[in-house]
Amino acid sequence: MNIRNYNIYFNTHTISGIIICALLYIIFFAGSFSFFKHEIRAWQHGVSYEANKDAEKDFDFLLDSLRQTHDLKGRDITFYLQPHSLGASVNMSVSKDTTVTKPQQAPPEGQRPGRRGGDATFFYYDFHQEKASTYAESYDMGEFLYRLHFLAQLNQVPINIGAPFGYALAGLVSFLFLFALITGLLLHWDKIVSNFFVFRPWSKWKTVWTDMHTALGVIGFPFQFIFALTGIILIVNWVLVTPLSKYLYDGKQQELYQDLGFSDGTTYEYLYKPIDQDFSMQPYLAELEQKWEGAEFSRIFIKNYGDESMHLIVHAKPNPKLNFSGEGKAVYRIQDNMLVYEKDPHTASSYKDKVSSIIYHLHFGDFGGYPVKITFFILGIMGCMVIISGILIWLVARDKKNVPKHKRVFNFWASNVFIAICLTMLPVTALTFIAVKVYPEVNQAFIYSVYFYSWLALSVFYVIRRNLRATNMETLLSGAILGLCIPVVNGLYGGNWIWKTFATGETDILFFDLLWIAISVVAIIAFLKIQRDGAKRKGFNR
């Protein structure tokens, strides 16, 4: 490689990497835990999906409960069903019937108001406990880490850039990460085979970090490339949607999303003719379960409840083992119980189905059970190690006598801040998992307070301390100790001891306890190795 190309790749890789390193670490760390979002929910609430997945979801009981508190006539009701979950998010619109009184009232604290005002409502319903709660009340650590991995919490920042600030920032990080990946591969292309097999753990620290950065970077490149690309598509799809909707749909984005199949905005004219029958969802759902064996319902829509124009629309996702890219849809006209449209999830796959399914499955790792999830988790944590080693390489390369002192001071403080923010995520995450199990009433505000305040306090402490080696060792040790406490706390406060969850088949809860034990053991081994090496050679201190 000629020197000009080398310098271009090197500078592009270094600059793009160092700009996004802290945010990218947050995305990788939180995203790695997000592969186990449903296990986290089961663990936190102490209710196993695996042990209760055969229990029937009684939608009729839920509708009966809603009829006790709301006049459902003329409403559209939507159920959003998450995979591997015992609950559903429910969105209920205002009535289309102008004869129905629509009270103007503020929603309960923590609940989102209806988009059209009135008594429209949104809530989460747990079929196992037969309990409704607001979004804030049902918020858990799985949802928190999942949303943190695309920086959704930053959407509250009052910066208007035409899109939510957190999403836009995560999209920008994904773009820059893609540049860093490609330029990093080109940078090492000539020696990619020889460097891949070189690892010198007993050399000076810069050599260790360089070997780690190169080897893990090459191993994880396909995984990281897939995540950067699919992340860009999932997070910043508005970049593509905006011009398409503007020039092809006269600015009507909802119509574009409907044609693409991402939303079901189908409307039916309200006839003001009450339907002369009691409505029950279960027979329709039972029929589809039998027809689409192996598929899982994802969204259910009730249009114009109680009117002759009432329709039931059911969307379903197939088991990836049976059909990797299908999506099912059935439309029932309730007045005469007629199935007016059906798309089998196991046999019918459009081009859009194939593309969107590949993107979603590759990004979320939900197509191969625990082997794929564990592999993706390990590769995600490897990405975190690549980021940390990259920061240290960048610092050491610029910590030379020929570099002006003010630049060396700046470089150290930048690295010190980045390392403190990144490495404290391990003990903070473990601490928050303990807190949500110990505290009796957990909601969104509680999780935010515990996680962000403890993260801020620890980060400031290690920034002020100015000792990178101590930051590394102490966050590993504290994270390991807190991580080992997680299964104990689960047993003491939830009664879900490891031997109990194993005996009762609550594999999702059991797995999460075992995951933290494995993480803690690895962290202790790393701590002991760093401590032992520190006695043999000079550590990196300031």
Q: What is the pLDDT of residues 54-113, one digit of tens each?
A: 888 899 999 998 888 888 889 999 999 988 889 999 999 998 888 876 655 444 444 444
pLDDT of residue 116 exceeding 70, the answer is: no
- Rounded Cα distance between 320 and 460, Å, is 45
Model pLDDT, residue 71: 87
* Spatial separation of the C-alpha atoms in residues 68 and 103, rounded to whole Å: 16
The residue count of the chain comes to: 542
Question: Whole-model pTM?
Answer: 0.86
The answer to whether position 408 is within a domain reads no
On whether the CB atoms of residues 312 and 300 are closer than 8 A, the answer is yes
Cα→Cα distances 57→120, 337, 341, 527, Å: 23, 21, 24, 47
Shared domain check, 303 and 236: no
332, 468: one domain: no
**Is 478 contained in some domain?**
yes
Is there a single domain that holds both residue 248 and residue 313? Answer: no
Indicate if 141 and 31 belong to the same structural domain: yes
Domain assignment present for residue 508? The answer is yes
State whether 141 and 235 are in the same domain.
yes
Residue in this structure with the two tokens 């928190």, named with its chain if needed: 144
How high is the pLDDT of residue 113? 41
In three-state secondary structure terms, 214 is helix
Residue 405 belongs to some domain of the structure: no
Total Cβ atoms within 10 A of residue 310: 22
* Mean pLDDT computed over 331-359: 84
Phi-psi category of residue 443: left, alpha or beta, with phi > 0 → left and psi -120 to 50 → alpha: beta
DSSP-derived secondary structure letter, 82: -
Residue 200 lies in a domain: no
**Is the same domain home to 520 and 426?**
yes
SS3 call for 89: strand
Question: Does residue 158 fall inside a structural domain?
Answer: yes
- Radius of gyration of the CA atoms of the chain, in A: 26
The distance between the two most distant Cα atoms of the chain, rounded to a whole number of Å, is 88
Q: Are 83 and 296 in contact (CB under 8 A)?
A: yes
Do 140 and 76 share a domain, yes or no?
Answer: no
Q: CB under 8 Å to 160, separation ≥6 — which residues?
A: none
**Where in the sequence is the domain holding 313, given as residue range(s)?**
59-81+87-126+264-360
Of 304, 339, 336, 297, which Cα lies nearest the Cα of 318? 297
Helix (H) or strand (E) holding 131: strand 131-133
**With bands split at pLDDT 50, 70 and 90, how would you rate the model's confidence at 419?**
very high
120 and 142 inside one domain: no
| Residues 389 and 440 grouped into a single domain | no
Tell me whether residue 294 is in a domain: yes
| CA separation for the pair 169, 150 (Å, rounded) | 9
What's the rounded mean pLDDT across residues 521-538?
80
User: Same domain, yes or no, for 141 and 115?
Assistant: no
Q: Torsions phi, psi of 124, nearest 5?
A: -110, 135
* pLDDT tens figures, 420-445: 999 999 999 999 999 999 998 899 99
Mean confidence (pLDDT) of the chain: 84
d(CA 241, CA 251): 10
Report d(CA 285, CA 306) in Å as an integer. 18
CB neighbours of 137 closer than 8 A, spacing ≥ 6?
A: 110, 124, 443, 444
How many domains does the chain fold into? 3
Q: Where does 455-502 show beta strands of DSSP type E? A: none
Same-domain status, 95 and 170: no
Query: Taking the CB of residue 481, how many other CB atoms lie within 10 A of it?
Result: 14
Q: Can you tell me the distance from the alpha carbon of 185 to that of 171, in angstroms, rounded to the nearest whole number?
A: 21
Kindly state the percentage of the chain with pLDDT values over 70: 83
Check whether 328 has a pLDDT greater than 80.
yes
CA dist., res. 40 & res. 46, Å (int): 10
> Which strand ranges, in their side-by-side order, compose the sheet holding 121-126?
131-133, 121-126, 87-92, 77-81, 296-303, 311-317, 328-333, 338-343
118 within domain boundaries: yes
254 lies in the same domain as 276? no
3-state class percentages of the chain: helix first, strand second, coil last, to nearest 5: 60, 10, 30
CA distance 246 to 240: 10
